[in-house]
Amino acid sequence: MTYSGSVAGRTQRVDVVVVGAGTAGANAAGQLAARGRSVVLVDRRRCDLAGAQWHNGVLGWQFAAAQVEPPVPAAGEDRRQATHIFGPDGFRAATITDSPVVRADMA
């Protein structure tokens, strides 16, 4: 199999082309590469926009435990927000207003 891309600027022979750089595609490409396959991961979007985009609530101490710098909020942004807990019926069961959770961009 061959591919040619404007980013690569060349033609290269590979074992596998994975289409879609979301969570599943990136994982599949990584697993295949770890097993010795030559892999190309392609997405229709630019690299900085490709893949999943999500935000998680992370406890502040978890950044230190993972040896990762905590996110720096943009000017005027408060990353400490209320935490909402929903029941299985989809209705809000509880709200914690003084939450220790920090909003973190996981992309």
pTM: 0.48
Position 80 scores a pLDDT of: 60
Position 79 scores a pLDDT of: 58
Average pLDDT, the chain: 82
Residue 15: CA count within 13 A, CB half-sphere: 9
pLDDT digits (tens, 9 = 90+) for 32-73: 999 999 999 999 988 878 877 777 778 888 999 999 888 877
pLDDT for 19 beyond 90? yes
Q: Report yes or no: 85 and 98 within 8 Å, Cβ to Cβ.
A: no
Please classify residue 61 by burial: count the beta carbons closer than 10 Å to its beta carbon, then call 0-12 exposed, 13-18 middle and 19+ buried.
exposed
